[in-house]
Amino acid sequence: MTPGLAARLAGQKHIATPRRETPFHPRLKELSETNDWYTWAGCKAPHSIFDTELEYFCIRSQAALFDISPMMKYRITGPDAERYLNRLTLRDVRKLAVGRVQYTAWCDDHGHVLDDGTLFRLDADDFRLCCQERHLPWLLDSAIGFSVTVEEETEVIAGLALQGPTSFSILQAAGFAGVDALKPFQLARFPHEDAEVTISRTGFTGDLGYELFVPVGKALSLWDRLWTAGRLHGLKAIGYDALNRARIEAGFIVANADFVTAEGALRTDRGRMPDEIGLDWLVDTEKPFFNGRDAILRARERRTLKHILVGLEIEGNIPAEHAIVYHRGKREVGLVTAAIWSPLAKRNIAIASLERPFGERIADDLCVEIYAMRELQYRKLMKRAKIVPRPFVRLDRRTFTPPGRF
Amino acid sequence: MTSFDVIIIGGGHNGLTAATLLGKSGRKVLLLEAAGNVGGALHGYEFHPGFRAGGLAHIVNRLDPDVAKLIGLQAELPEILPTVALSETGMPAVLRGAYGERTDGVTAAEAVRFSELREKLLFQAGILKRFLKRRPPEIGAVTAGDMAAFASAGWNMIRRGREEGRDFLRMLLMNVADVADEYLTDDRLKGLIAFDATLGIHLGPRSPTSLLGLHYRLTGEAGGAAGAQFMPRGGVSALAAAFEKAAVSAGVTIRTGTSVTRILADRGETKGIALASGEEISAPVVVSAIHPQMTFLTLVDAAELSTGFLRAVKNIRSKGNVARLDLALERVPEFSGVLPEDHRGRLVIARSIDHVENAFNPAKYGEFSEDPVMEITVPSLADPSLAPAGAATLSALVQFAPYQLGEGWEAGKPRFQKVVLDVLERHAPGIGKFVLGSSLMTPADIEACYHMSGGHWHHGELQTDQLLVNRPVNAACRYSTPLKGLYLASAGSHPGGGISGLPGFLAAQSILAGERR
Amino acid sequence: MGSRMKRYDVVMIGGGHNGLVAACYLQRAGLDVVVLEKNDWVGGAATSRELTPGFTYSNCSYVCSLFRPEIMRDLELPEHGLQVVAYEGGAVFTRDGDYLASYRDHDSHRREFARWSKRDAEAYDRYARDVTRQCRFIQPLLMRTAPDPFSFRPRDISELIHLARKFGEFTPSQIAQTLRFWTMSISDFLDEYFETDVIKAYLALSGIIGTALGPMSPGTAYVLLHHYMGEVDGSVGAWGYARGGMGAVSRALASSFQAWGGTIRIGADVEKVLTRNGEAAGVVLCGGEEVLGKLVVSNADVKRTFLKLVDEQDLPDTFLHRVRHFKMRGSSGKLNIALDSLPEFPALPAGSSCIRGDLHFTDSVERMERAYDDWKAGRWSADPFVDMVIPTQLDPTMAPPGKHFMSCFVQYCPPKVEGRDWTDADRDAFAETVISQIAEYSPGFRERIVHMEVRTPREIEEEVGLTEGNIFQGELTFDQLLFNRPVPGYAQYRSPVKGLYLCGSSTHPGGGVMGAPGRNAAAEILRDLRLGTKHMSQAHDVI
């Protein structure tokens, strides 16, 4: 349905702000020392706030506040919501209890991953799906034959990630009583002013942490509530660059960085099946039919999977981002999609996409070719690489319930 | 729960063909038909006390010879009926024999031109024909058989001379109007082929690719003569009886008045069907001989199909353009200038290319033609049982009448009926006085009566982008579907509609060949 | 005269942009080329003309983006003065007082579409990706000679294999989708992605510009591709203005040609192609002068060339039959307007960038199709589709300070009015139809008009020489594409007359200021002369 004339005329103003500002932007702008912004889903988002290095250590040693409002959020409601999502996504949604969160992914008919994300079961017939890319047409077309309503709520719900060892203490200090009972991937609703905030024990850092969702009108007051409570717990606002380091350590992948999404791929060979990007564990073959099922099972049966995603540990300390991976120093077998020197593990780590059978049956004799630009000269380095399990860093505090007070 | 080897949904001629073939192979076959009797579009109905309509199809021009043999239709050459291109002002032009082997009522020079064009088109249709009687190739896994078909098509072209081959590739996707203008001068003949190319298709003669509709018609045959048309003894309904008899003698169990409400499936595999009564019948193979959109959008649980597939199914264009008028007449009608015996043939009202084009224009916007084009038969001449002695029935396929009329068919129908009767009156003066009763079926009525989505007798537009590997959609173009064990066999599948039986025939062959997907 | 008469290596009939491109390449290969142009200026349909003091009109083609960068580079057009001023976006005005704008910035574009439909705004990305995928397949074919499927020459066979291989790079479902795309109408194609009328109307326009087809005609999805070919690796369908008007393209080409020693003769109207023993030997000009050449290349369209300039007896019957039935029906007209001030469009917010781009008034596919119905009936559209640009906002060289030049491309406009020739009264009535449409959205528009040039197919044929005023030198329907363009068996720029070649848009890959037909023709000629083509860039790889 086309919106009415009045709504459309009011919308014409969008051109005055070619980059949308998130509900937390006033606070971020105030705090920003580096003034270093990028565009995330059409929103102005910080690369860094004051110093990426220090911001990273806030995640691991204190607490960090990261604005996740630009993340796409879809609300799926209705009597068929569970059946609908079960057909849509790879995991069994019937097993997702009310008040729980599932990390999941979904595919097109050819079994190529459209995106990964988190699915929140707010109620029996009420779900929220959060992800990186836009999927409204796909989600609406998936609703053919189901009694569900799909609504995008990205611009009406603000989101914050509160991550780091002291995050629990901050929530307690902020007065969110009962938050201690939250187990990983569990959510609960808490009063905030005259509204509600949904807090889930989830995150993208591999650390103890929470994600908070609140109507945009209450965004700033929520920020302030946390900020005040966090003063004594080392709370800092951070940008994406620091978060990205933490997520690599945690071994998480990012759509259109570590793999190309099926709808984004222009070139025919870029689509990836779950098994090709380390998401094979999400595929539930026992559950009812879901999008991509046949193609995935057929590829497994016929052994036609072409790629595999692996964690690499690379000798030395020079990050190997976008380096080519070789076997026996000669044969190109893949590409590093993300890499950092891990400050926590004190290791040079990387996520790489390899062509099978490398990374699958052949795991030895790998090396990466790093071009390190130093004062306008490339140092070409051939460094040995070893396949290691992800996450690269495993922190007990992430799962401990009730969480420790740090 | 009772169980069968194969369940066929829909007792139209394609469902019956598939059932017969599968029954003959020794499989235990159950055929379910929602209506009170089988035969689908061949089945007649009483539209006025004492007067019956023969069926949605009112002439036969593409019954496949193997299907004819399957249902035991006698091999002897049927009588080929003429096509008469009526003229409002002068004498009609008549095509005699198989699509005008001889022409009457045109100048000698025009007759030569027509026969040149006819020969060219028949040659081109002959190239295409081999692809109509095979499953569309599987892209990426083209078989030796597919290659052989391509090679033989290529060889045929070359053998005929390079220029014929070049003309084939040039003309294949042309519009019929430009071809008609290139070869003919007589408006009646041009109007006729423009009409024949677009009948039942949402294209005007000036729409690119419209020539393909004529090619399609010329791939049909009767008694071995390409482009011929005939009326079976006893009329079209007799054909329905033959199809039914063949199925029964092949051991097929037929249940009429039985509506299927669900195709049962689990994790992408067909398990059987559920009836409106709640009864469930199991079978590893279900063949749907009804419209693909009805199959996937109403019978199969969306949770058993993937999003992209359903999206494609939803995008199938299947909005009919043809209305069907049946008249109960006090006596046999007389069309101006038409010989009495030619009334047994097909009478076409399409004065010129522009007449057809202008009739098409309103259909694009949900309006009906104020000056429609049509083809007319007098079914009671072939099957006297349709009307009381001395009286007659007239059947007209009229286009263009859109499925969704802007003003709504309730208001539009009486107006449209008057428009059609006025046209008939101009060509058969006085006919209005003999009308005892009438029935006008719009595409919306056809949908309701024959369970065809959009009232489209091809079960989906027969246009280039919905042919071969894209009919009805790519993922189901080889009769098997993404749902294991579910097959399609209606006109919505390759090669398309008309009374050919080929979709049913090829679907059954696929199943017999053992390919499950 | 006789033996002392100069004999050129190549005589080029017509100095349109394709003629000049071919001439440049041939001259650079060391041949002595003369370009014969009937008008007093070169450029054909790519011209700038001062028809009223102080105003430069791009009076036929008006935007520039299809021109192949490889050709620009080879012929050093920037060094010869060509500047392309990029412009972004545009807008369709809707009858309810709103508009739909388009922007280069992805997010602005999405948010603009989202005002109309959130779903369509996102569907656009999938649409753009699917269309870009097709463009990536087609684009490399533009600069290759179409293979003849019936010649069985090794080169044709290897080209066919190359094509099949390229096609095979698609996945099976993409192949099936491609087969659909090529034969669909733009309207049906858009229906599969979008739900909003104005969005579909905005996108459909590229499927009909320059063609004698409506948006509901099968094959128009392919035409869309033809217009989207501009920049495959950039954003889909970006356009630019040539600074100084489209004549700047031709001036740069002429300058490049002359810098290498080529000869241009203006006011030289060719009457006949001379043949000796069935081979082309030069041309005869109106007035009787003969210009001799070893080869003759015609930039004129296929009908004009073979039905007017060549003796029928030199041509085979089948060939003649096919040329006669080659379709090049004019479908568009043009209003070039000098304005004493910038028109106002109250619907647009102040300062909107849209006004510098393409402006349209057709807000539904149905209106577009109805406009086509008028054309089919032999009338100009009562509610025409207008593509309007005001390039002087970005290129002040084209008008006196504060004043503006406006180009209005109008569809549909038939080559004949209800079967008879155009009269001046028809032309004026046609102009009035367009002006009143613009005035509905721009109060006071009439009063700003200083001068106006109205071009119906009649004027286009008279001045530019395009038969029936068809701007693509032949419709872009399947029967006239690739190895069928212009005539099956003669789609490789050669003709039945030895030594006579075609290089205009009647040949593959067709119309638009692209230069590819001229370049490809030059390559074939050099191949026949066994001269190298090292100075010609191959099409850039699409990776």
ipTM of the complex: 0.96
- The predicted structure's pLDDT at residue C230: 61
Is the domain of A278 the same as that of A363? yes
The pLDDT tens digits of the residues spanning A376-387 come to 999 999 999 999
Cis bond before residue B205 (omega within 30° of 0): no
Of A207-211, B53-57, C161-165, C453-457, the poorest mean pLDDT is in: B53-57
Residues of A in contact with B306 (CB under 8 A): 108-109, 291-293
* Residue A393 within any structural domain of the chain: no
- The predicted structure's pLDDT at residue A198: 98
* Residue A264 within any structural domain of the chain: no
The pLDDT tens digits of the residues spanning C288-316 come to 999 999 999 999 999 999 999 999 999 99
Nearest by CB: B310 against A108, A110, A144: A144
Residues of A in contact with C171 (CB under 8 A): 110, 268
| Residue spans per domain, chain B | 2-50+63-73+235-316+459-512, 112-226
Does residue B54 surpass a pLDDT of 90?
no
- CATH 3.50.50.60 holds for B2-50+63-73+235-316+459-512: yes
Is the domain of A237 the same as that of A166? yes
Mean pLDDT of A301-308: 97
Tell me, what DSSP letter sits at residue A323? P
Decide: C180 and C174 in contact? Cβ < 8 Å. Answer: no
**CB within 8 Å of chain B, chain A residues 250-289:** 288-289
Domains in chain C: ranges and CATH: 2-46+66-82+244-327+472-528 (3.50.50.60), 126-240 (no CATH)
Is the domain of A37 the same as that of A179? yes
* Residue A205 within any structural domain of the chain: yes
Nearest by CB: C366 against B208, B365, B475: B365
Amino acid at B366: G
**Both tokens assigned to A3:** 């919106």
Domain extent at residue A167: 14-71+155-250
Of the residues B166, B176, B181, B183, the best mutation for testing chain C's interface (the one with the most C CB atoms within 10 Å of its CB) is: B166
Does residue C30 surpass a pLDDT of 70?
yes
The pLDDT tens digits of the residues spanning C178-236 come to 999 999 999 999 999 999 999 999 999 999 999 999 999 999 999 888 888 765 444 44
* Residue A380 within any structural domain of the chain: yes
The pLDDT tens digits of the residues spanning B272-284 come to 999 999 999 999 9
pLDDT band for position A404 (cuts 50, 70, 90): confident
pLDDT band for position B78 (cuts 50, 70, 90): confident
Does residue B243 surpass a pLDDT of 70?
yes
Question: Sign of the CA dihedral B350, B354, B357, B360?
Answer: negative
pLDDT band for position B516 (cuts 50, 70, 90): very low
Is the domain of A330 the same as that of A194? no
SS3 B489: coil
* Residue A93 within any structural domain of the chain: no
- The predicted structure's pLDDT at residue C232: 45
**CB within 8 Å of chain C, chain B residues 120-159:** 138-140, 158
Count structural domains, chain A: 2
Does residue B391 surpass a pLDDT of 70?
yes
- The predicted structure's pLDDT at residue C4: 64
Q: Distance (Å) from the C-alpha of residue A120 to the closest C-alpha of chain B?
A: 21
CATH of the domain at A322: 2.40.30.110
CATH of the domain at A187: 3.30.1360.120
Sheet holding A195-200, edge to edge: A187-192, A195-200, A209-215, A157-163, A63-67, A235-237
Phi-psi region of B479 (alpha: psi -120 to 50; beta: other; left: phi over 0): left
In sequence order, the 6+-apart residues with CB closer than 8 A to the CB of C109 are C89, C102, C103, C124
Q: Distance (Å) from the C-alpha of residue B73 to the closest C-alpha of chain C?
A: 37
| CA–CA separation, B466 and B477 (whole Å) | 10
Is the domain of A279 the same as that of A243? no
Is the domain of A281 the same as that of A237? no
* Residue A113 within any structural domain of the chain: no
pTM beyond 0.80? yes
Mean pLDDT of B106-133: 97
* Nearest alpha carbon to residue C268 among C251, C248, C282: C282
**CB within 8 Å of chain C, chain B residues 155-184:** 158, 162-163, 165-167, 169-175, 178, 182
* Nearest alpha carbon to residue B328 among B379, B375, B371, B373: B379
In sequence order, the 6+-apart residues with CB closer than 8 A to the CB of C378 are C414, C416, C417, C418, C419
pLDDT band for position B42 (cuts 50, 70, 90): confident
Does residue B459 surpass a pLDDT of 70?
yes
Does residue C237 surpass a pLDDT of 80?
no
Of the residues A83, A107, A109, the best mutation for testing chain B's interface (the one with the most B CB atoms within 10 Å of its CB) is: A109
- The predicted structure's pLDDT at residue C2: 47
The pLDDT tens digits of the residues spanning C138-173 come to 888 899 999 999 988 999 999 999 999 988 889 999
Q: Are strands C90-93 and C358-360 parallel, antiparallel or unpaired?
A: parallel
Mean pLDDT of B321-348: 96
The mean pLDDT of chain B is 94
* Residue A107 within any structural domain of the chain: no
Of the residues B464, B466, B467, B471, the best mutation for testing chain C's interface (the one with the most C CB atoms within 10 Å of its CB) is: B464
Interface of A with C (CB under 8 A): 2-3, 5, 7-9, 11-12, 14-15, 18-20, 39, 42, 110, 134-137, 140, 152, 263-264, 266, 268
Is the domain of A67 the same as that of A162? yes
pLDDT band for position B75 (cuts 50, 70, 90): low
Share of chain C above pLDDT 90, in %: 85
* Nearest alpha carbon to residue C500 among C320, C318, C314: C314
Mean pLDDT of C479-488: 95
In sequence order, the 6+-apart residues with CB closer than 8 A to the CB of C495 are C305, C306, C310, C501, C502
Does residue B157 surpass a pLDDT of 50?
yes
Is the domain of A40 the same as that of A160? yes
* Residue A337 within any structural domain of the chain: yes
- The predicted structure's pLDDT at residue B501: 96
Strands (DSSP E) found in C300-350: 332-339
